[in-house]
A and B are shown apart, each in its own frame.
Chain A
Amino acid sequence: MGSKEGTFGGWVFRWEKRLTSSSQINVAIPFISIGLALLVGGLVILFLGFNPLSVYRSMFAHAFFSRFGLMDTAVKAIPLMLAGLGVALAFRMLLWNIGAEGQIYMGAYAASGVALSMPGAPAYIVLPVMLLAGMAAGAFWALLAGIPRAYFGANETIITLLLNYIAVFWVDHLVFGPWRDPGSLGFPITRAFSSAARLPSIAGTRIHLGLAIALALALLLYFILYHSRWGYEVRVIGESPGAARYAGMDIRRNIILVMLISGALAGIAGMTEISAIHGRLQPGFSPGYGYTAIIVASLAQMHPGYVVLVSFLLAGLLVGGFSMQIAGLPLAVVSMLQGAILFFLLGSSIFARYRLTVRRKELV
């Protein structure tokens, strides 16, 4: 019976656990928390001597209310969405795969391998092969944690985390060593991919085909989760492993399958990023997309539809951050504001589980 209370002036505040959490509350939470974050952030900005309205204007007006900005937001949202879907699926089954970053790197590695070894192949061959290779590599990387988890109960959180480092070092090794472009004067990059190996952009925009892939996969994942037999198993296992065992579900097999798909999705993120944006493998091509994907999945409450929404939201937040810098806001304030919004979003679930009661302090 968790209840905390505090006093302020003549009032007593107290958290009481809600007996039920309604779905309206769940829907309202992200909006309420963003609102709260903006209000608090606004106060801080004011305190620092900037005008909160113009700061917010530069943050959101560009990211969400301009043609160019929306495209930028979409481009940034693609890897977050793909990796976020993978993380959400794993989290759904209580598999704490925090290795999306490594899986992105391995996906990019395999896709690059294909692109570099098939310089003459036409796009309709090389792109699908890159996609499959990226998926396979991401899946393989996730399975390195999934199989020990399924058979020996090893802690997948630690394994996936450590595999992240290995993946990054592996790509470093390649671009500093065997895959280095001889014409790069020793700089750590591979040769540029042929134009056939570059994922095309969607008619007349800068948004690349990865968006279509990501949206299609989100839709597919939604249908699999909520309308297929296997999706039903995944949801039951995630909600209640005890009930799943009771219903005769094969948990071990599903751990492996889910990790495989989760890794494959992150692998696709690596492939699309390297093929559409960079056009060659180079270190640091992912500024932590795999870690941001964890935030995406948590905020989206592991629901594929919300992953799409939240990845746009977070992409906008990141894009807006640069806009705010151009508007003259120091990087530290931008980071603080982004942090505040995330903090409120993540912390907001408390409203779903507790309610605040207030009453006047009485003298006994």
Chain B
Amino acid sequence: MSAGATLAMRKITKRFPGVLANDRVDFYAQHGEIHALLGENGAGKSTLMNILTGLYWPDEGEISIRGEVVNFRAPRDAVLQGVGMVHQHFRLVRSFTVAENITLGMRQEGFWWRPQVVEQKIATLAATYGMAVEPKAKIWQLSVGEQQRVEIMKMLYRGAQILILDEPTAVLTPQEVKELFRNLRQLAESGKTVIFITHKLHEVMAYADRITVLRNGRSVAVREKAETSIKELAHLMVGRELSPEISKPPNTNQQEILRLEGVCALNDRGLPSLRNVSLTVTKGEIIAFAGVAGNGQRELAEVVTGLRPITTGRFWLHGQDVTSCSARQLIDAGVGHIPEDRKGMGLVPNMAIMENAILKSYRDRSVCPGYWLDHKAIRQRAEQLVTAFGVKTATLDSPVRLMSGGNLQKLLLAREVSAGPDLIIAVYPVRGLDVAATEYIHQLLVEQRNQGTSILLVSEDLDEIFKLADRVAVIFEGQIMGILPIKQANLDEVGLMMAGARASEVALG
């Protein structure tokens, strides 16, 4: 079957210093299919696709498209051969129009900007593939799903026959995911090859025709969807069975830990980002904030951890007014924080594991008895964290930036949990982690909950929310659309609220 493949990558090997990212990987894709490239983080999916799009050179192996061997020296070469990639983080100029973004950087368009011609062409493409895009709209006016559509259109405009999407669903609401795959199906039916990179098993089963599984830099299996199951794919991807459901005894404690009343705050650009947020968190519960990224979740986490001032409203911890407390005071009051940006906030990438282990506790007498740090005690502390939480590392002295995402997050969690907090703010705690690490982190959070720690979980993965949370609060444009006990919530309902519908409206509708 490889002979007739639209795209064939044979025996692709790519080495980085100390890492074998791709090891003789074979990958074939046909026109007219939606092909999932499945694998955990670090399995080599992105490296393989970066080779396909000309960003990297393979050390060994060859690529052929429609039977012809190609040799991409730069991304432009790949584009000319009809290979287009939609990255996870969009590459759009926010103040430009859709049409301007689509033609940005194209040499073929000539020197003069002729909006009518371009807009006409976009409209034709949009009609052909059933994708609604407004060429005159500015990017900043579009929703995330629409922006993604612009990215796809950008590739189609350049004549892409092979379309690659890197984790395309990470930023979408469930409704937007459906819309995306409806569009992708139409593209496939018109004869294009659609490849999407993912580690989400249910997505693969719902939308892919064929699946190539990568593990540790090798292609371990190719499956037709009809012939496989979630269970088999999980096994192929992780290399072992997944552990069963997490046990979560019901929480009956009603003791109030955190209470917010009418909290408003501004974002970094000085615009209102939290509007009149009120809620109560009780002891030993996980309350999840569902919402599309950028709807005030980050600001909420920063407010509760003392990193962002409140414009109006107050909040209480253990019944005490802590509205004007500093980050330092809130840390001392028992608020743990697993920030969204691990490397930019939660950890110091260029500093050693040892030094990162005391980021929150460096003032404690135990590690700093006087003015000087007690390096022996710090090493002990770090060693405890590493062993107790299974952080994989050769030495405590290497900078944390060399650690994998899962290990980073384990270290971060280990540090926050070991301080014995009453409240943990966990923002996207498993984003970008592999299945094994995700499982471990989930387990850990639930254990903490079971021991009586309250957890404020910010997540955009509804599976995660339904798995972990006791209650779900949906946030949209800085407002809470509704708070539901998880047992009374269903996926569609939460999805609609994430798109801006009130709980009451959803219930009525």
Chain A positions near chain B (C-beta within 8 angstroms): 1, 3, 5, 12, 14, 16, 18-20, 22, 223, 227-230, 232-233, 235-236, 239-240, 242-243, 245-250, 355, 357, 359, 362, 364
- Note all chain B residues with C-beta closer than 8 A to A250: 328
Nearest Cβ distance between residue A2 and chain B, in whole angstroms? 10
Q: Which 3 A-B pairs have the closest CB atoms?
A: A248-B328, A248-B327, A242-B345
Per the bound structure, the CA–CA distance linking A12 and B71 in Å amounts to: 13
CB of B307 within 8 A of chain A? yes
Nearest Cβ distance between residue A260 and chain B, in whole angstroms? 17
Nearest Cβ distance between residue A103 and chain B, in whole angstroms? 26
Per the bound structure, the CA–CA distance linking A239 and B363 in Å amounts to: 19
Contact with A along B338-366 (1 / 0, CB 8 A): 01010011111111000100111011000
Pair B70/A364 contact, Cβ less than 8 Å: yes
Per the bound structure, the CA–CA distance linking A22 and B372 in Å amounts to: 29
Pair B373/A232 contact, Cβ less than 8 Å: yes
Per the CB 8 Å criterion, the residue count for chain B at the interface is: 44
- Note all chain B residues with C-beta closer than 8 A to A20: 17-18, 402
Per the bound structure, the CA–CA distance linking A110 and B197 in Å amounts to: 66
Pair B363/A229 contact, Cβ less than 8 Å: yes
Nearest Cβ distance between residue A240 and chain B, in whole angstroms? 5
12 residue pairs A–B, Cβ–Cβ below 8 Å: A16-B56, A228-B371, A228-B373, A239-B348, A239-B349, A240-B344, A240-B345, A245-B307, A245-B327, A248-B327, A355-B17, A359-B57
Nearest Cβ distance between residue B85 and chain A, in whole angstroms? 11
Q: Which residue of B lies closest to A231 (CB)?
A: B373
- Note all chain B residues with C-beta closer than 8 A to A232: 355, 358, 362, 373
Pair A243/B346 contact, Cβ less than 8 Å: yes
Chain B positions near chain A (C-beta within 8 angstroms): 16-19, 50, 55-57, 70-71, 73-74, 305-307, 326-331, 337, 339, 341, 344-351, 355, 358-360, 362-363, 368, 371-373, 375, 402
Pair B73/A12 contact, Cβ less than 8 Å: yes
Nearest Cβ distance between residue B345 and chain A, in whole angstroms? 4
Pair A246/B307 contact, Cβ less than 8 Å: yes
Pair B50/A243 contact, Cβ less than 8 Å: no
- Note all chain A residues with C-beta closer than 8 A to B349: 239-240
Pair A243/B347 contact, Cβ less than 8 Å: yes
Per the bound structure, the CA–CA distance linking A340 and B344 in Å amounts to: 36
Pair A229/B55 contact, Cβ less than 8 Å: no
Pair A1/B50 contact, Cβ less than 8 Å: yes
Identify which of A18, A236, A240, A246 gathers the most chain B CB atoms within 10 Å of its CB.
A246
- Note all chain B residues with C-beta closer than 8 A to A19: 16-17, 19
Main secondary structure of the interface of A (DSSP, over half): mixed
Pair B372/A228 contact, Cβ less than 8 Å: yes
Pair B57/A246 contact, Cβ less than 8 Å: no
Nearest Cβ distance between residue B87 and chain A, in whole angstroms? 10
Per the bound structure, the CA–CA distance linking A233 and B348 in Å amounts to: 12
- Note all chain B residues with C-beta closer than 8 A to A246: 305, 307, 327, 337, 339, 345-346, 359
- Note all chain A residues with C-beta closer than 8 A to B339: 246
Q: Which residue of A lies closest to B21 (CB)?
A: A19
Pair B402/A243 contact, Cβ less than 8 Å: no
Given A19-B17, A239-B350, A242-B341 in contact, is the A229-B373 Cβ separation under 8 Å? Answer: yes
- Note all chain A residues with C-beta closer than 8 A to B368: 229
- Note all chain B residues with C-beta closer than 8 A to A364: 70-71
Nearest Cβ distance between residue A224 and chain B, in whole angstroms? 9
Per the bound structure, the CA–CA distance linking A362 and B57 in Å amounts to: 13
Per the bound structure, the CA–CA distance linking A250 and B373 in Å amounts to: 18
Nearest Cβ distance between residue A351 and chain B, in whole angstroms? 13
Given A20-B17, A240-B345, A357-B57 in contact, is the A247-B372 Cβ separation under 8 Å? Answer: no
Given A5-B74, A20-B18, A242-B345 in contact, is the A227-B57 Cβ separation under 8 Å? Answer: no
Nearest Cβ distance between residue A252 and chain B, in whole angstroms? 11
- Note all chain A residues with C-beta closer than 8 A to B18: 20
Nearest Cβ distance between residue A281 and chain B, in whole angstroms? 37
Nearest Cβ distance between residue A245 and chain B, in whole angstroms? 6
Nearest Cβ distance between residue B368 and chain A, in whole angstroms? 5
Per the bound structure, the CA–CA distance linking A246 and B16 in Å amounts to: 33
Per the bound structure, the CA–CA distance linking A246 and B50 in Å amounts to: 34
Pair B371/A247 contact, Cβ less than 8 Å: no
Identify which of A12, A236, A240, A242 gathers the most chain B CB atoms within 10 Å of its CB.
A240
Pair B50/A229 contact, Cβ less than 8 Å: no
- Note all chain B residues with C-beta closer than 8 A to A236: 348, 351, 359
- Note all chain A residues with C-beta closer than 8 A to B329: 248
Pair A5/B73 contact, Cβ less than 8 Å: yes
Pair B326/A248 contact, Cβ less than 8 Å: yes
**In the complex, which of the residues A12, A16, A227, A239 contacts B372, with contact meaning CB atoms closer than 8 Å?**
A227
- Note all chain A residues with C-beta closer than 8 A to B73: 5, 12
Other A-B pairs beyond A227-B373, A249-B328, A357-B57, 9, CB < 8 Å: A1-B55, A16-B56, A22-B17, A227-B372, A232-B355, A247-B362, A248-B306, A248-B327, A250-B328
Per the bound structure, the CA–CA distance linking A5 and B77 in Å amounts to: 14
Pair B344/A3 contact, Cβ less than 8 Å: no
Pair A243/B348 contact, Cβ less than 8 Å: yes
- Note all chain B residues with C-beta closer than 8 A to A1: 50, 55
Q: Which residue of B lies closest to A25 (CB)?
A: B17
- Note all chain A residues with C-beta closer than 8 A to B328: 248-250
